Structure 1
């Protein structure tokens, strides 16, 4: 694995913090990841191929829910270019407020294989623990893409599966793998 240019990280914690230029880059990244076979297809988006005008409203819903106490976007850039991003959420209910969920983890296809995903996951663990006071993180991933192994190398543990819970295409059902990271 070759290292990219040094990564810079930024958080978006409120909708007004997202510039139009960065929003366009996030949508473009999301569409490219989905169309390359990535597992970050949210509810409401069609199966690939996806267009930017279809992904933009989904990004708008994610950004609209940002709040420093409950949901943050972590962005990685290299040389001023978007390299990857993810969402970190916490449920405010007292029974689970010590837990966070990581969603929409993606590395821009132009930066694949350069450690961006690893760096994002390490940084989100620090952010969750140090800034949000979280004690554990959860993630659900699609089986069949090597994601269980990737997250496992970073300390995540598989805690369960929904067998055949994700239908990628007719006749292509995959397990949804539930994973946990103690902080």
Structure 2
């Protein structure tokens, strides 16, 4: 990665920290990722193609759920442009407060292949441990896209698999893979 392509990071832990401009960039990124075949589908969104009008209210609910103790938005930018983002959540219940869940990991299609996803995952690891007191993280990924290999290279390990648990299209069922990382 060239120095000028090194991402900067920002996080939001409260809804009012997400500006209208950032919200628009997040929605645009999400729509582009989904429509280019990315695996970042949300239960409230239809299968592709997805429109901005469909994704914006779902983004609003994600933003409304931000809370310093339970949900953070991590954003990567390169030269002022949104390059990727993710959500880190944790349940504050004492039985599971030491665990976090990473959702919506995505790299803007215009920044693919530049190490943005890897940088996001390294940064979320530090955020989880140092700022939220998380000791282990979980992520669920769709098989067939090489995601288990990507996360495996970053130290995550597969701990479970739901065979055919995700129906991408009629006749195209994929395994849902649960992965774990100890911090």
Query: Do Structure 1 and Structure 2 share a fold, with TM-score over 0.5?
Result: yes
- The Cα shift of 1:154 comes to 0.1
List runs of 5+ in structure 1 lacking aligned partners: none
* Alignment of structure 1 residues 79-90 onto 2, 5 Å: 79-90=79-90
- The Cα shift of 1:160 comes to 0.5
> Corresponding residue for 2:54?
54
> Corresponding residue for 2:160?
160
Moved over 6 A (4+): none
What's the TM-score once normalised by structure 2's chain length? 0.98
List runs of 5+ in structure 2 lacking aligned partners: none
State the SS of the aligned residue for 1:69: coil
CA distance in 1, matches of 2:46, 2:134: 33
- The Cα shift of 1:34 comes to 0.1
Deviations, residues 119-170 of structure 1 (Å, cap 9, x unaligned): 0000000000011111000000000000000000000000010111000000
CA distance in 2, matches of 1:14, 1:6: 26
> Corresponding residue for 1:115?
115
* Alignment of structure 1 residues 89-100 onto 2, 5 Å: 89-100=89-100
CA distance in 1, matches of 2:97, 2:62: 20
- The Cα shift of 1:117 comes to 0.0
> Corresponding residue for 2:181?
181
**Is 1:137 aligned with 2:137?**
yes
- The Cα shift of 1:93 comes to 1.2
Number of aligned residue pairs: give it. 182
> Corresponding residue for 1:169?
169
What's the TM-score once normalised by structure 1's chain length? 0.98
Deviations, residues 16-42 of structure 1 (Å, cap 9, x unaligned): 011111110000000000000011110
State the SS of the aligned residue for 2:132: coil
Q: Which stretch of structure 1 is more off in the superposition, 110-119 or 6-15?
A: 6-15
CA distance in 1, matches of 2:38, 2:149: 16
CA distance in 1, matches of 2:123, 2:113: 17
CA distance in 2, matches of 1:115, 1:44: 29
RMSD: 0.8
> Corresponding residue for 1:6?
6
